[in-house]
A and B are shown apart, each in its own frame.
Chain A
Amino acid sequence: EVQLVESGGALVQPGGSLRLSCAASGFSVDDFAMHWVRQAPGRGLEWVTGISWNSGAIGYADSVKGRFSISRDSAKNSLYLQMNSLRPEDTAFYHCGKDRTLYLSSVESWGQGTLVTVSS
């Protein structure tokens, strides 16, 4: 059974940094594209970033480009999101997702999310 469990969400001050983790089980993170998608409380879905199976394709939303970085660790079967220069508008639940394919297309499995709050 595919499972994704996010961690690392916290209250952080504007300008601060945070690293989110997503522990995967039931599959290898090397065998599929992976994503981070966020949702501010009461708002819609926003794709943040994704990485193809071989890291040949990595994309970022304009709102996070240059501040956020996606990576994965095969040995730990985990996905990460490094977030720097955080802003209040980054406040949201952050979900990691497993793609249906090798490339950035359709998130078919989702974690329950971890809450990031950016506030002074």
Chain B
Amino acid sequence: DIKMTQSPSSLSGSVGDRVTITCQASQDIRYHLNWFQQKPGKAPNLLIYDASNLQTGVPSRFSGSGSGTHFTLTITSLQPEDLATYYCQQYEIPPLTFGGGTRVDLK
């Protein structure tokens, strides 16, 4: 199975900060990567698919980049409503696998 490793596992930011989360795949997954946001007590929400495509309705401050084995999710200006846990997921080869998650909170 493909292992997805996210870093950091948690981070604290201030409103307006630029935040970057990284995700590394154990083998080449081309661009077959999703990013999800999950707020406490809620179902996950798809933010980015195909590594860099913004899902409909997602604010433009979210962006994704990368290919192969190294990917990043960037929030250009952190907002209070962005407090959540973020997960990457590969879909190059089943079983689809998630990273361990990155918890984002406010300083």
The interface of chain A, by Cβ under 8 A from chain B, is 35, 37, 44-47, 50, 57, 59-62, 95, 100, 104-108, 110-113
How far in angstroms is the closest Cβ of chain B from A64? 9
Contact of A46 among B50, B55, B85, B98 (CB under 8 A): B98
Contacts A100-B49, A106-B49, A107-B46; A47 near B95 (Cβ below 8 A): yes
**Neighbouring B residues of A50 by C-beta, 8 Å:** 94, 96
Task: Report the 8 A-B pairs with minimum CB-CB distance, sorted nearest first.
Answer: A59-B94, A110-B43, A106-B49, A47-B96, A45-B98, A44-B101, A61-B95, A105-B91
C-alpha spacing A62/B98, complex, angstroms: 14
B36–A45 touching, CB < 8 Å: yes
Counting CB contacts under 8 A, is B87 at the interface? yes
**Neighbouring A residues of B38 by C-beta, 8 Å:** 45
**Neighbouring B residues of A44 by C-beta, 8 Å:** 85, 87, 98-101
B49–A95 touching, CB < 8 Å: no
C-alpha spacing A37/B1, complex, angstroms: 17
Query: Number of A-B pairs whose CB atoms are under 8 Å?
Result: 62
A113–B96 touching, CB < 8 Å: no
Counting CB contacts under 8 A, is B44 at the interface? yes
B34–A47 touching, CB < 8 Å: no
Contact string, B37-57, partner A, CB cutoff 8 A, digits 1/0? 010000111100110000100
Contacts A44-B100, A45-B101; A62 near B46 (Cβ below 8 A): no
C-alpha spacing A107/B46, complex, angstroms: 7
C-alpha spacing A112/B43, complex, angstroms: 6
C-alpha spacing A110/B36, complex, angstroms: 12
Supply 27 A–B pairs (Cβ within 8 Å), ascending by A. A37-B44, A44-B87, A45-B38, A45-B44, A45-B89, A45-B101, A47-B89, A47-B95, A47-B97, A47-B98, A50-B94, A95-B43, A95-B44, A100-B46, A100-B49, A100-B55, A104-B91, A104-B96, A105-B32, A106-B49, A106-B50, A106-B55, A107-B46, A108-B55, A110-B45, A111-B43, A112-B43
How far in angstroms is the closest Cβ of chain A from B37? 11
B96–A108 touching, CB < 8 Å: no
